[in-house]
Structures are given as C-alpha cells and as structure tokens.
Amino acid sequence: MGLYKLLDELNISYKEVVHPAVYTISEAEQLHIGLPGTEVKNLFLRDKKGKGKYYLYCLPAHKRADLKGLRSKIGSGALTFASEGDLYEKMGLTPGSVTPLGLINNTERDIVLLIDRELDGEIVLVHPNINTKTMSITMDDILRVARYIGVKIIFV
C-alpha cells in the first residue's frame, strides 16, 4: 500500500511542501519551508554483531546522536550506519530521504523504530519517502502508522 493511501485510510492529517532535493539536515534547514514542527534526523543503523538487526533512530535535528549510549539503552552490540544498499533493500529509500514513514516498505518488519523521548507528542518535519517534499505530521500519527503495520517501537 502506498504512503498517502495508508495515511488516508488511517484518517491522518498532515501538511506538505514541495522543495528542491535536500540530502542533509543543514540543507533542509536552509529551505525555511514554513511548516510547523521539529526538524527530525533519521539514522538507519545496524548492529555490527547481530546479523539482520536494524534500527531506525529518530531524534531532533539539533541533538547529537550518542550511539554508544544508545546501544546500552537498547541492549545491542556496537552500532554503525547501515549501507546505502541496506537502506534501499530494507526500506526502498535513498540517502537524504530516510524517514520513519519509509517503514511501510519494510515487508520483513525487521527494523526497530527508536524514538528519542524529546519527540514524544511533538509535531515533526519528515520526508514522505522522497527528499523533495517535507511533511508536518504529529509523532503520535507516525506511531499510529508504525503500530498499524507491525513495527516494534522503543522510546530512548
């Protein structure tokens, strides 16, 4: 099922802006798109030791990702960034378009969604599976989508 069809089916509202392609948080911040919400960065990670263990870590764009601290919170081995090939294979996404909404493409449901507690209850800015659009949507609605499709969620 496509993303927009799923959002409609779940009665989820959002605002969206089309813009030039962006590949980094700093590029996105330069756009000044005018949508309400917290800019989010999404890191696609894998457990170096545990084959097939993948994580999508969503945190506020201004926050530094502490992968050592994160690994102790989730009980994983050393975490590293997953490859572009893994990103495309697992989520059908390319660099610059990583988003929790891309989990709809993960048919194996083998990616754990890690949400920074700072984002709980917030309106967030994410890409809708392409880096030429930004969507303003509540984190609660992203979690509704994730739960609906059977994604494991951990708040960190």
Q: What value does the mean pLDDT take over residues 12-30? A: 86
The tokens 């099922």 sit on which residue?
1
Among residues of the chain, what percentage have pLDDT more than 90?
A: 83
The Cα 3–Cα 126 span in angstroms is: 13
Res 42: pLDDT: 96
Which has the higher per-residue pLDDT, 26 or 86? Answer: 86
Residue 29 has pLDDT above 80, yes or no: no
- What is the value of pTM for the model shown? 0.93
Could you tell me the CA-to-CA distances from 90 to 15, 46, 55, 56 in Å, in that order? 27, 11, 11, 11
Sign of the C-alpha dihedral computed for residues 135, 88, 116 and 30 taken in this order: negative
Res 148: pLDDT: 97
Res 51: pLDDT: 66
Res 85: pLDDT: 95
- Please give the radius of gyration of the chain, using alpha carbons only, rounded to the nearest integer: 15
In 3D, which of 146, 7, 5, 23 has the Cα closest to residue 94? 23
For residue 105, the 8-state DSSP code is G
Quickly state the pLDDT bin for 21 (edges 50, 70, 90).
confident
Q: Are 116 and 60 in contact (CB under 8 A)?
A: yes
CATH superfamily of 3-155: YbaK/aminoacyl-tRNA synthetase-associated domain (3.90.960.10)
Q: Are 35 and 125 in contact (CB under 8 A)?
A: yes
pLDDT tens figures, 64-101: 999 999 999 999 989 999 999 999 999 999 998 999 99
Res 40: pLDDT: 94
Instruction: Sketch the domain layout of the chain as residue ranges.
Output: 3-155
At 17, list the tokens.
């802006």
pLDDT tens figures, 104-132: 999 999 999 999 999 999 999 999 999 99
Res 5: pLDDT: 96
Q: Which residues of 90-112 are buried (b: 16+ CB within 10 A; e: fewer)?
A: bbebeeebbbbbbbbbbeeeebb
Res 50: pLDDT: 61
Question: What DSSP element (H or E) covers 5?
Answer: helix 3-9
Which has the higher per-residue pLDDT, 50 or 98? Answer: 98
Give ∠ CA 65-67-72 in degrees, rounded to 5.
Answer: 130
